A = this chain, B = another copy of it.
Amino acid sequence: MGCSLRRKVKVITDAMGGDFAPFEVIKGALLALAENKNLEIVLVGRFEEIKKELGTENKRITIERAEEVIEMDEPPTQAIKSKLRSSIVIGTRMVREGKGDAFVSAGNTGAVVAASLLNIGRIKGISRPAIGIVIPTPTRPVVLIDAGANADCKPENLYHFALLGKVYIQSLHSVSQPKIGLLNIGEEKGKGNELTKEAYKLLESSNLNFIGNIEGGEIFQGKADVVVCDGFTGNVILKVAEGLAETLMAEVKEAVGSTLFSKIGGLLVKPSFKKLAQRLSYDEYGGAKLLGINGVVVISHGKSNAKAIKNAIQFSYETVKNEVVAKIKEELKTFN
């Protein structure tokens, strides 16, 4: 595995994925190349469209033809079966065939998950892959897993998510024994729904550093390094946090503009606010990582701009460089 660090990392990028594709994706890819000399990019998508946007030649960027596009609202399983010439299907296949080290897409999340499962496959011993997402908290980053890959889960799945989250946070930071929390309603054992009650028992009897239940509000206090939940709840949490942060920042701005005095004050606090808004912006985070798949797959926000895409590509580069997939396999040996 060691030599993978010295050679260049090739990231297959879905040029057709996301609300602002292909323009922002291509712009993001070029930004990523400019920043990182060890990177090569394959843009997958409609050849003519990409060619037109790409402009001048860049020897570290190539185009792979994929004439079909899976739309954001298409039913995933059906879409990946009927659109075999889509960027998502071809991109994930290229990873399996070793034609690239990672796949990055801001497209239909469900389709990326389904295509990754079908074309790249699960890591042996992991019942279900899950989306791990890094949440910014004032003290440290926290991994929320599953953030939306599995709407219905079994207790065993949640146990596997904990394992995946553990290795993931370890690969991002040097945390020796990451604290694992189970997202639940109420702190005490025995609280929650049927799923969390059973998952609690599994986590408690494992050799993970399980610290018990974590309530919704405690995620942002950085009480646990990894917060485990089913994909329905995880996705709701993400969307609530995003929506509320937007609403609150807008209200703060409005409050600032409401009187002459506060307007003057607003000008003075502006630089500090800008820094905060930047820290909270999802553009800064490299997208969601699909964990438990036998390869590196990064799902970027559907609203990704060039900067978000650039970060997602850079993030997939780090994940390859840090050999996260190999580390998950290694970790599984300790547990199974």
Contact = CB atoms under 8 A, between A and B. Distances in A.
Contact of A247 (B193, B220, B235): B220
A217 B232 contact: no
Contact of A268 (B137, B190, B261, B276): B261
A217 B190 contact: no
B269 A244 contact: no
Which of A185, A196, A237, A246 has the most chain B CB atoms closer than 10 A to its own CB?
A: A185
A267 to B, nearest CB: 7
Interface in A106-139: 137-138
Q: How large is the interface on A (under 10, 10 to 19, 20 to 34, 35 or more residues)?
A: 35 or more
A248 B246 CA distance: 11
B246 A187 contact: no
Nearest to A240: B216
Interface in A235-262: 235-252, 255-256, 258-259, 261-262
A269 B266 contact: yes
Contact of A255 (B190, B196, B248, B275): B275
Contact of A241 (B232, B233, B240, B266): B240
Nearest to A260: B268
A219 B275 CA distance: 27
A-B residue pairs, 8 tightest by C-beta = A217-B243, A265-B268, A216-B239, A216-B240, A151-B193, A255-B272, A265-B265, A265-B269
